[in-house]
Chains A and B, each alone.
Chain A
Amino acid sequence: MFRYYLRLGILSIRANPALSALMVAAIGIGIGACMTIVTIQYIMSGNPIPEKSDQLFHVRVDSWDPAEPYDEPNEPPEQLTYLDATALHAAGRANRQVISFLSSRVVQPAGEDSKPFQTQSRATTADFFAMFNVPFAHGSGWDKSADDTQERVVVIGQALNEQLFGGENSVGELLTLSGEPYRIVGVLDEWSPVPLFYDLNNNEYNDPAALFLPFSVAVAGEHGSAGNTNCWKPIEDGGVEAFRNSECIWIQMWAELPGEAEKAAYLQFLDAYVEEQKLVGRFPRPLNNRLDNVEEWMDINEVVDEDVSVLLGLAILFLIVCLLNTVGLLLAKVMKRTKDISLRRALGASKATLFAQYIVEASMIGLAGGVLGIGLTWLGLRGIENLFSIFEFVQKLVVMDWVMVLAAVALAIVSALAAALYPTWRACSVTPAAQLRIQ
């Protein structure tokens, strides 16, 4: 019987090739537009470290201006002062803790004719690699002792190792960065979390820095922050020292806290720390310390670009228009065939057979629309890649994985069935007699 319906469906589709093509195109285009934006949104809001995103907490303490909050309504600043970052890190109250900031170095490759180039570097502390599950191809991160002794060690990314050492194990080699020699202790494997959750203040779709080096070394070498520096209080006279003692915020901190109890305890510790600082005249605002896990922190920072949300809303409306279009055309087809249907009913067709017949026809159109939709999604992503071609990070946002392919097919079939439901119901409710009455 199913094959009979298939044949009827094909006949009916072939009987109106232009209209059938229009329906397939409408579903396909609607799905394509929707899935293009959904894919980008899916990647933008993806969980970059699902295995422990609920154990990693971004640390904020409210050291800001008594006159106004850092951000409305009462958000503490997203970064820490040098004083607080180093003190909280030294206290070591979490299982692991990391302080870091983004900077840049000029890499001077060995050899006379090789050209120096600038690249991003992250100044951070020893726990960084274990805490964020950073994969190593060779070697490892550095010990806490390297932080303490300001040892010039560096971990380099896969791409940089490829560029400088042709992908060989370069652990132990010396690398000159802005005139200073560093010893390579580790080379990363392929690693590019999207979004770059541990630093959402700078471009959240950037690649990780190519260089990781000890925080203490960067501070001693006066590496300037490439990220934002915000101050609410004028810096006292006195150069670098004054800047470090200022209320300017420029350092990010994360803590690893495996459970609720640890989190509560750490929050208590932060509160106690702030109370203590209040005694020496710092932290003029009321107690307002925050610990946010990776997904909460991504929400707060609105990692999904507002434009994407707007486009997603419009794309969904777009799909609705395409579906209304299909419903309208299917319905028109039914209406045109009411005489035929009532004749069939008079000849003994049951509602169930009519239902099966129309649903099979609609599913075929839906399936065709879905396949077209996948193709158009791919095209749409290429289009977006093209629009943003000057920004390398866009490459990461326009990849279609199998989840999205399945989602596109599912969306297409669900859409087509939804579109078919009403016309099919109308077809089934045609009475055997009524339509034959008017000639």
Chain B
Amino acid sequence: MELGPIWRAILRNKSSYALIALQIAVTMAIMVNAIAIIQERATQMARPSGTDEDNIITLTSVAFVPDADMRTMIDEDLALLRGMPGVRDAIATNSFPLRSGGWSMSLSTEPGPNSDGIGTAIYFSDEHAIETFGTNLVAGENFAADEITWNNREVSTWPATGILTRALAEELFPEETGSLVGKTVFINENDPVKIVGIVDRLQAPWNGWERVENSMLVPSRRDGEFQRYVIRTEPGMRDEMIPRIEAALAANKDRIIENVRSMTEVRERSYTGDSAMITMLTFIVSLLTVITGLGIVGLASFSVSRRTRQIGVRRALGATRPEIMRYFMIENFLISSVGIITGGILAVALNIYMVQEFALTPLAWYVVPIAMVILWLVGQAAVAGPARRASGISPSIATRSI
């Protein structure tokens, strides 16, 4: 309707309108990039670990008696755990998904020192691993019980078989369309490992690792003094099993049991930084939106009271209440638009910088429009109050001159 005069009036008072537009622009830049980071972190946190997290308990067993017979201790512990009512299965392993510590090796499809390897996490365990983690074997078969060997830190002969995650197998054989079971890969440069099975998913222990979906189950257990037990309970029994398991394992005084945690807790610890980042950014963005909104309310109130007389004149000249209200809404829309468009450019520039500097995932296309709509709505909501007050100004103000 009256875009022209409103716009010209804005240009008459450039500086104060430019300030609010700039404020909206910077708000937009922050909002867009914060949303991009939140989105990235939320996506990462939403990735499943490939385990039955709701029913898994993990713990560390540290033997401290010199020359303890680790193999016997582990076998006894596992027999005890697997025999407990309420326990579905249990394993001893060097690590597990989300633990943030473990062992990685490089796998390649050709032997020799110069072939390009693909990093993978190694889980040393036995034929109970698939059942205990609760992952699904999608091809091939599980290890046989008599296949399982013992090793220690200085392992130099590798077991000849392995179960790989699908992501790892596909990365190793990108061209292959048929079954990958039966293929051979090489570890430690020259040691062949035959793929006997493929599981759909079992994350590596490091959630921030670019190859987090790559892991390999190895049919061999390590007999060091540090052991990590993973225990899967019957559905819903996890919490009641924790004290029972602690009590059962306490009988053996040659070692200590530490870090008894549910997988849910392990996940929380693993993603503390990310979830804190999400909380902080959400907080910052909400606060910022409120401040910008209140700033608009404040400026609009000033603007209305400064123009009281003019509004009266407009009313006297025939403006209806909705028309007065619309004037302020349109004015805000125009200023917001300037800010939002500048902000869009600013946001994209900032994002490009952050992508380079902090290896952030680039912005999804829809974030900018979403932020635009949010800020438009915030602006309109903020100006609605003062605009309503403006529309209530009596036309008789025009004759009651001060």
Q: Give residues in A with beta carbon < 8 Å to B.
A: 18-19, 22, 25-26, 29, 33, 67, 104-106, 108, 115-118, 178-180, 224, 234-240, 242-243, 305-307, 309-311, 314-315, 317-318, 320-322, 324-325, 327-329, 331-333, 335-336, 383-384, 387-388, 390-391, 422, 426, 439
Chain B: CB-nearest residue to A23: B298
Instruction: Check: B159 CB closer than 8 A to any chain A CB.
Output: no
Contact B19 A328 (CB under 8 A): yes
Known contacts A179-B65, A387-B279; is-contact A332 B22 (Cβ 8 Å): no
- List B residues 127-169 near A (Cβ within 8 Å): 153-154, 156-157
Instruction: Check: B79 CB closer than 8 A to any chain A CB.
Output: no
Instruction: Check: B231 CB closer than 8 A to any chain A CB.
Output: no
Known contacts A26-B291, A115-B256, A387-B279; is-contact A325 B23 (Cβ 8 Å): yes
Measured in the bound complex, the distance between the Cα atoms of B281 and A108 in whole Å is 45
Contact B188 A336 (CB under 8 A): no
Chain A: CB-nearest residue to B265: A390
Chain A: CB-nearest residue to B276: A387
Contact A335 B306 (CB under 8 A): yes
3 tightest Cβ-Cβ pairs between the two chains A and B: A106-B64, A332-B302, A387-B276
In the complex, which of the residues A25, A116, A242, A332 has the most CB atoms of chain B within 10 Å of its own CB atom? A332
Q: Which residues of the partner chain A approach B30 to less than 8 Å between Cβ atoms?
A: 314, 317-318, 321
Output the least CB separation between A116 and chain B (Å): 5
Binary A-proximity of B293-306 (CB < 8 A = 1, otherwise 0): 01100110111011
Chain B: CB-nearest residue to A237: B156
Binary A-proximity of B47-63 (CB < 8 A = 1, otherwise 0): 00000000000000010
Contact B15 A331 (CB under 8 A): yes
Output the least CB separation between B34 and chain A (Å): 6
Measured in the bound complex, the distance between the Cα atoms of B18 and A324 in whole Å is 10
Measured in the bound complex, the distance between the Cα atoms of B295 and A106 in whole Å is 59
Output the least CB separation between A222 and chain B (Å): 9
Q: Which residues of the partner chain A approach B22 to less than 8 Å between Cβ atoms?
A: 324
State the majority secondary structure of interface residues on B. Answer: helix
Partner of A310, one of B258, B306, B354: B354
Chain A: CB-nearest residue to B402: A439
Instruction: Check: B364 CB closer than 8 A to any chain A CB.
Output: no
Contact B302 A321 (CB under 8 A): no
Instruction: Check: B189 CB closer than 8 A to any chain A CB.
Output: yes
Output the least CB separation between B303 and chain A (Å): 7
Partner of A179, one of B33, B66, B301: B66
Contact A391 B156 (CB under 8 A): no
Contact B281 A178 (CB under 8 A): no
- List B residues 293-323 near A (Cβ within 8 Å): 294-295, 298-299, 301-303, 305-306
Measured in the bound complex, the distance between the Cα atoms of B303 and A335 in whole Å is 9
Output the least CB separation between A416 and chain B (Å): 16
In the complex, which of the residues A118, A321, A391, A426 has the most CB atoms of chain B within 10 Å of its own CB atom? A321
Q: Which residues of the partner chain A approach B157 to less than 8 Å between Cβ atoms?
A: 237
Contact B154 A318 (CB under 8 A): no
Partner of B189, one of A19, A234, A322: A234
Q: Which residues of the partner chain A approach B306 to less than 8 Å between Cβ atoms?
A: 332, 335-336
Measured in the bound complex, the distance between the Cα atoms of B288 and A322 in whole Å is 8
Measured in the bound complex, the distance between the Cα atoms of B60 and A118 in whole Å is 11
Measured in the bound complex, the distance between the Cα atoms of B64 and A117 in whole Å is 10
Q: Which residues of the partner chain B approach A318 to less than 8 Å between Cβ atoms?
A: 30, 284, 287-288
Contact B276 A335 (CB under 8 A): no
Contact A240 B26 (CB under 8 A): no
Output the least CB separation between B99 and chain A (Å): 14
Q: Which residues of the partner chain B approach A331 to less than 8 Å between Cβ atoms?
A: 15-16, 19
Contact B16 A332 (CB under 8 A): yes
What are 8 A-B pairs with beta-carbon distances under 8 A? A22-B295, A33-B284, A224-B226, A239-B154, A311-B281, A314-B34, A335-B306, A439-B401
Chain A: CB-nearest residue to B37: A310
Contact B154 A306 (CB under 8 A): no
Instruction: Check: B269 CB closer than 8 A to any chain A CB.
Output: yes
Instruction: Check: B358 CB closer than 8 A to any chain A CB.
Output: yes
Q: Which residues of the partner chain B approach A314 to less than 8 Å between Cβ atoms?
A: 30, 33-34, 281, 284
Instruction: Check: B392 CB closer than 8 A to any chain A CB.
Output: no
Known contacts A26-B295, A331-B16; is-contact A315 B226 (Cβ 8 Å): no
Q: Which residues of the partner chain A approach B156 to less than 8 Å between Cβ atoms?
A: 234-237, 242
Contact B64 A321 (CB under 8 A): no
Measured in the bound complex, the distance between the Cα atoms of B153 and A98 in whole Å is 26
Partner of B280, one of A26, A116, A236, A384: A384
Binary A-proximity of B17-51 (CB < 8 A = 1, otherwise 0): 00110110011011001100100000000000000
Partner of B16, one of A26, A224, A328: A328
Measured in the bound complex, the distance between the Cα atoms of B303 and A224 in whole Å is 72
Contact B26 A324 (CB under 8 A): yes
Measured in the bound complex, the distance between the Cα atoms of B294 and A192 in whole Å is 44
Q: Which residues of the partner chain A approach B391 to less than 8 Å between Cβ atoms?
A: none
Contact A19 B298 (CB under 8 A): yes
